[in-house]
Amino acid sequence: MRLTYTSDVWWKNAVVYCLDVETFKDGNGDGVGDFRGLTQQIDYLAGLGVTCLWLMPFFPTPNKDDGYDITDFYSIDPRLGTLGDFVEFMRTAHDRGLRVIADLVVNHTSDQHPWFKESRSSKNSPLRDWYVWSDKPEPDDPSKVVFPDKEDSLWEWDNRSKQYYLHSFYKHQPDLNVANPEVRDEITRVLGFWMELGLSGFRVDAVPFLIENVDPKLPDPHEFLQDMRAFMTRRKGGSILLGEVNVPYPELVKYFGDGLGDQVTMCFDFISMQKAWLSLARQDAGPLADALRERPKPPKDGQWAMFLRNHDELTLDKLTDEERQEVFDAFGPEKDMQIFGRGLRRRLPTMLGGDLRHVKMAYSLLFSLPGTPVIFYGEEIGMGENLAEEGRLAVRVPMQWTPDGGFSQADPVREMPEGSFAPDRVNVADQKRDTASLLRWFQLLIERYRECPELAWGTYTVLDAGHHAVFAHRCDADGASVVVVHNLCDTAVDAELKLPGLEGHQLTDLLVDGTLDVSDDATVKLPLGPHGCRWLRASPPQIAPEDAGVMSQ
């Protein structure tokens, strides 16, 4: 594939790294991460090979939902720095070839936002209609409450102005009313502001809530997403929207803008993420294979964003009750590990019992799945969670840089884990020196992923590997093919693949070493160790293996 093309549509095989400025690196010694600290770590991120940073909310906030409750969309949380620090950070990131996107949280504001204070001041407030008000707490459906540990209704009574207001999330997060053109205009200004400061796009929080929970119902709620995307493209071609859209596939394609692809550029693939966990729990490739076979094709230039963990709970809401229980039993059996009745507040390595071979296989799988991988800070060194922290904050612990923590000289904003996932056991400094470390494995996976654009761009086919524990797929683009095989179980197995069209080809291992021959009847047999994984590039017999490798070798 031509690099001039894949780099133009940069998001389609980007490697996205999500971080929270607050917990990444403290630059001024007050215990809270900040832009100055983050800026000093840009070379680390560039060295890891990621291509795009996704910053969790960094705006002024009362911090009742870790910054997802904003009081000013045009400024920086003073604990994290100033606009000046932000611009210095952006410049340095760009200097090292990194793009930056940020969370766009406009489904709601904090109840401390001046807009809401004004709106609730009276029924006649000029900003009354910026939020969703009603005389009756209806329609209400307690099953739609997102945080059932704290809320039991979508409406809250406002004693001052004698009406109820809608809140899809916590009651301190009143929903903005995007049916109001003034609100839509203001959101557009917010986009424009941060794009002027260099952002390449936004991770859009809670997209279905944003366009559906409005008053009056918009005749075509998706028009708003179209307008946002069109505005961004006018201002800066190649800027993207990465949508948090956790709905079933048939509904999801609408958020891409169906075949037109004029709405959200990329959607997180919550479905295959959940099925991947079910597959890991069962040591059976079936659920993941079925999901990927069913998954609709995104429109041209659209892409799926792939992930295994993020900053929220590992939501298993799209599994059946029995399936969810299987994942709970395997990876989070204790009540304290579970949250909202639907998820786990754990990081991946602890769920896999700290078994490095298993963890490496899981991430090899993630980077090879068709789409754009998104990782959460600390995944690259195998950080664990701290269940002593409240709710979802358990997974948002400070980044572990050195054996003594290295995040801050003061007491950190949140406690790091103890025991086998404490910083003296899991940290960047040690793993940089250890060629067998997870960090080095991530670097290799990222390098190979970038060298194999077929994985993200190609037509993929999920293969039958002759063993239920083996997940195998091939990706073909522009006459080139990459074949990837993962053994989900902890015993050695033999896989056998049929690779039509690759008769007599040689398969060169891109991760370790060696070659395999595809027989004249298009069959290849490959032994896989416990949790073994192989990425193989096919080349016609007339090309010597050393030339057949990755494009830039």
Residues numbered 225-264 forming contacts with ligand GLC, rule: CB under 6 A: 244
List 244, 269, 284, 380, catalytic entry: 244
Question: 3-state class of 101 per DSSP?
Answer: strand
Burial of residue 334 (CB within 10 Å: 0-12, 13-18, 19+) is exposed
Nearer to ligand GLC, 169 or 535 (CB): 169
**CB of residue 181 to ligand GLC, shortest distance in Å:** 23
What's the rounded Cα separation, in Å, for the pair 303 and 9? Answer: 10
**CB of residue 106 to ligand GLC, shortest distance in Å:** 10
List 26, 205, 269, 312, catalytic entry: 205
Of 26, 65, 111, 380, the residue at the interface with ligand GLC (CB under 6 A) is: 65
The answer to the question of residue 312 lying near ligand GLC (CB under 6 A) is yes
Task: Kindly determine how many residues on this chain lie close enough to bind ligand GLC according to the rule CB under 6 A.
Answer: 8
What's the rounded Cα separation, in Å, for the pair 8 and 356? Answer: 36
**CB of residue 517 to ligand GLC, shortest distance in Å:** 47
With vertex at residue 130, the alpha carbon angle to CA 59 and CA 244, rounded to the nearest 5 degrees, is: 55
Q: Give yes or no for a contact between 442 and 48, defined as CB atoms under 8 angstroms apart.
A: yes
Give the tokens for residue 280. 């890991």
Residues numbered 501-520 forming contacts with ligand GLC, rule: CB under 6 A: none
Nearer to ligand GLC, 244 or 476 (CB): 244
**CB of residue 313 to ligand GLC, shortest distance in Å:** 9
Residue number with the shortest CB distance to ligand GLC?
Answer: 68
Nearer to ligand GLC, 209 or 449 (CB): 209
The answer to the question of residue 476 lying near ligand GLC (CB under 6 A) is no
User: Residue 503 catalytic?
Assistant: no
The answer to the question of residue 267 lying near ligand GLC (CB under 6 A) is no
3-state secondary structure 408-447: CCCCCCCCCCCHHHCCCCCCHHHHHCCCCCHHHHHHHHHH
Nearer to ligand GLC, 105 or 232 (CB): 105
Of 14, 206, 292, 444, the residue at the interface with ligand GLC (CB under 6 A) is: 206
Tokens 């992930």 correspond to what residue?
307
Neighbours of 202 (CB within 10 A): 26
**CB of residue 248 to ligand GLC, shortest distance in Å:** 17
Specify the amino acid at residue 160. Answer: R
Long-range contacts of 505-508 (CB under 8 A, 24+ apart): 505/481, 505/538, 505/539, 505/540, 505/541, 506/538, 506/539, 506/540, 506/541, 506/543, 506/545, 506/548, 507/483, 507/536, 507/537, 507/538, 508/536, 508/537, 508/539, 508/545, 508/548, 508/549
Nearer to ligand GLC, 312 or 454 (CB): 312
Of 17, 54, 58, 68, the residue at the interface with ligand GLC (CB under 6 A) is: 68
**CB of residue 325 to ligand GLC, shortest distance in Å:** 23
User: Residue 269 catalytic?
Assistant: no
Nearer to ligand GLC, 206 or 518 (CB): 206
Neighbours of 520 (CB within 10 A): 8
The answer to the question of residue 22 lying near ligand GLC (CB under 6 A) is no
Binding mask 161-180 for ligand GLC (x = CB under 6 A): --------x-----------
The answer to the question of residue 313 lying near ligand GLC (CB under 6 A) is no
**CB of residue 65 to ligand GLC, shortest distance in Å:** 5
Q: Give yes or no for a contact between 344 and 351, defined as CB atoms under 8 angstroms apart.
A: yes
The answer to the question of residue 205 lying near ligand GLC (CB under 6 A) is yes
The answer to the question of residue 183 lying near ligand GLC (CB under 6 A) is no
Looking at the DSSP assignment, which residues form a beta bridge with residue 202? Answer: 102, 241
Nearer to ligand GLC, 295 or 396 (CB): 396
The answer to the question of residue 105 lying near ligand GLC (CB under 6 A) is yes
Residue 266 makes CB contacts below 8 A (sequence gap 6+) with 11, 240, 241, 242, 243, 298, 302, 303, 304, 305, 372
Interface residue list for ligand GLC (CB under 6 A): 65, 68, 105, 169, 205-206, 244, 312
Residues with catalytic annotation?
205, 244
